Chains A and B, each alone.
Chain A
Amino acid sequence: MPIELTRRDALSALTAAGITSTAGCAGFSDRTADASPMETLVGVADVLYPSEVEVTEEFIETFMFGRITDKEVYRERLTAGIETLNELATNEFGSAFLGLAPDERVSLFEETALRSGDSVHDGGDIEQVNYHILDELLFAFYASPKGGELVGNPNPRGFPGGFGYNPGVTQ
């Protein structure tokens, strides 16, 4: 029987691990330009995550920002990354990322080096988006009980869901 981890369980796991004391109020929802970085992240996660998942700000606050240590440094990377993303969107479809229709968002991923290009922490603009935004979002999801459960693993590596999981496999 798979363990159903609630958000509270997840938070307490991350807090017990000493890696998030302020999850849920990390302040990444501040409005900066037209849209908040968080809104853009939710939009990007919608493309990255499986369609059956409904992405929430809360999820990203908990599972992504909960495991980012240097939040100030990350905020700068995020701002730069979102700028790159908006430039790409504007070049392809004439609008910032959040202004794109769902199928345009998918096309943007298909037609640029987002995901398919290299992912380098100090690389070129798109390489940095891949590393600091897309890979972080994927880590947040596939190293969380929510992502893990979709493939039968409620405690994927990278998530501190306790030790000893064994649902019983032998007769």
Chain B
Amino acid sequence: MNETQSGEAQSSENLDRTPVEDADVCVVGAGPAGALLSYSLAKRGHDVVILEAGPRFDMEHRVDRMKLQIHPDRGVNEVWDMGGERDAYSMSGEQDWPLNKRRVKGVGGTSLHWGSVTPRLREKDFEMESRFGVGKDWPISYEDLQPYYARAEQEVGIAGPDNAPHQPPREEGYPMDPLPNSASDDLFAEAAEALDIDVQSMPMAINTGKYDRNQCQGYGTCEHVCPSGAKYTAEVHVEKAEAEGATVLTQTPVQRFEHGPDGEEVTGAVYKTPDGNTHTQEADVFVAAAGAFETPRLLLLSESDQYPDGLANSSGTVGRYFMQHEGALVIGIVPNQETYQGAYGPVVSSGIQQFYEGTAERGGANIMLLNTSDPSLAERAIDSSGFGDDLLETVNLYGNSIGTLNSVEMLPREDNRITLDRSKTDNHGNPVPDVQVEAGEFSEKGTEKAIQVGKDLIEEMGGNVAFVQGTTTDSDEFIEDIKGGYHPMGGTRMGTDPDDSVVDPNLQTHDLDNLYISGGGVFVTGGAANPTLTIMALSLKAADNIHGSLAG
């Protein structure tokens, strides 16, 4: 039994981690992609087993994890016990991301960590090549995905605006009313009106009361931990899947998939357990939902005599066309204006979607208005070395800040990719993933635009722009929060042509009949919308298809 950073004990030895007999579906990874798919299938009577590399975290210790997040000397990776040999990686390209601050291993996956901003992609995102001559069209349209978006929103519980501008068509309202405006939303809205810019509520996966989990209690620490459980995490659907009979085996990192002699089907997922044993889970269908960093790696690690370049990789595109959203941060100070940062609760409640469309030369931007643009009071207090009245004065130095955080479209590039770094291994002796990313001009222009909008708004409200970072900043100078890796996408992209894509529109791999991939990896282009709602919609779509194939 190990005591972890939060004080939460991970008692692991005595759980039964032997393979489930006669499983219909084996899902690798218990993040949003794996959880919704598992629930959707378990509910329809299929025997589902989820193999999850990380542990199950308890609710009781969330408050300790929240305190880790607030403590200035504790790293973001420590909040959910990431790091060490288990999570080793390389970054050999232009950008250097702190990967273990950008992913979580455990039941819930990276949604334990996420900000819960949940917009849909737009119609144009599926048609970038035909509309703008850049990127590549998806083999499905917005209309194809629309019903699944609606289902995902209902499942998860999204608070959002029904009739806001710059949104794609909706078939019905959001399950919950949008979050109320924060003080900084109001300040932005007033300035925006003068500049003819629309500020609108942001769809957020936060329970404001209607859903069967705690209502938001205003800790204001949603990213990276919500102690109340109001913020949706994929734990919700893992538990729902379990209630429908699914089995979850935690701390069972899958090492590789094995295939049958004809190479047409996966026969087993080989996994390790904490006691050092190796097992093989058999099933009729396998779903790789290990996140966009680990899924390509798992396919590459599954190389065999028949597939020397890795599984599902006859196109040679596994790991390629990897993307993220380029980030940019604009912080301003509005003299004599109290901005109540951190008092509101959720980190974001409104945004600007007017510049989402972009152009052929410039990536679109999803501009999020921050409710927490300065460090928390407790963090400032602890970080200082003062005490008493002097300390109060230091803590009080802030109070007038305001800011935007931007998510900007990046085009898929063949040479932005995930490969295996064979010079470095994890705790099981497997080569680690190597991530190589270069932003490109399209996203640089997009971040410039997003930054300009933020600056204009801050100046319009009489503020001074105090801090700006984005792709055009020298990446060596990036503060940690701006270093990328938040929204990994691509690397196992979807398409109809087996020569240039890995999965078909139902997320089934072209090469192996019973292997599916669910997650951001299947995105063809990335849009500028935070990816997870789309990941969920796609996983519900894949589940329908798997259900059909199992039933037939």
Which A positions have Cβ atoms within 8 angstroms of B? 13, 16-19, 47-51, 67, 69-70, 73, 106, 109, 115-116, 118-121, 135, 138-139, 141-143, 147-148, 150-171
Contacts and interface: CB of A to CB of B under 8 A. Distances in A.
Contacts of B219: 17, 157-160
B376 A156 contact: yes
Contact of A138 (B5, B183, B381): B381
Nearest to A171: B190
Interface string B1-40: 0000101000000000000000000000000000000000
Contact of B388 (A51, A121, A147): A51
Given A67-B63, A157-B220, A158-B220, 8 more contacts: A17-B217, A48-B387, A50-B392, A116-B385, A154-B343, A155-B342, A164-B218, A165-B343
B406 interface: no
Interface residue SS majority, chain A: loop
B386 interface: yes
22 contacts: A69-B61, A69-B64, A70-B7, A115-B387, A120-B73, A138-B378, A150-B392, A151-B399, A153-B399, A154-B343, A155-B344, A157-B376, A158-B66, A160-B218, A161-B217, A162-B345, A163-B206, A165-B183, A165-B345, A166-B185, A169-B337, A170-B189
Contacts of A154: 343
A169 B338 CA distance: 8
Contacts of A166: 180-183, 185-186, 340, 344
Contacts of B185: 166
Contacts of A120: 73
Given A155-B343, A157-B221, A164 B7 contact: no
Given A50-B388, A169-B340, A156 B378 contact: yes
Interface string B235-274: 0000000000000000000000000000000000000000
Interface in B311-342: 337-342
A8 B262 CA distance: 69
B67 A169 contact: no
B408 interface: no
Instruction: Report, nearest first, the 10 A-B pairs whose CB atoms are least far apart.
Output: A163-B345, A160-B217, A157-B376, A157-B220, A163-B218, A142-B377, A142-B378, A50-B392, A163-B216, A116-B385
Given A115-B386, A162-B218, A153 B339 contact: no
A19 B71 CA distance: 19
Nearest to A164: B180
A139 B73 contact: no
B338 A165 contact: no
Contacts of B477: none
B480 interface: no
B395 interface: yes
A18 B219 CA distance: 13
A157 B340 contact: no
B190 A157 contact: no
B475 interface: no
A17 B228 contact: yes
A154 B179 CA distance: 19
B343 A156 contact: yes
B70 interface: yes
A139 B378 contact: yes
Contacts of A116: 385
Nearest to B187: A169
A109 B217 contact: no
Given A18-B59, A69-B7, A153-B377, A115 B385 contact: yes
Interface in B201-238: 206, 208, 214, 216-221, 227-228
Nearest to A48: B387
Interface string B378-397: 10111001111101100110
B395 A139 contact: no
Given A16-B217, A151-B392, A158 B378 contact: yes
Nearest to A136: B67
A42 to B, nearest CB: 15
A69 to B, nearest CB: 5
A171 B5 CA distance: 47
B60 interface: yes
Contacts of A157: 70, 219-221, 342, 372, 376-378
Contacts of B60: 69
Contacts of B181: 166
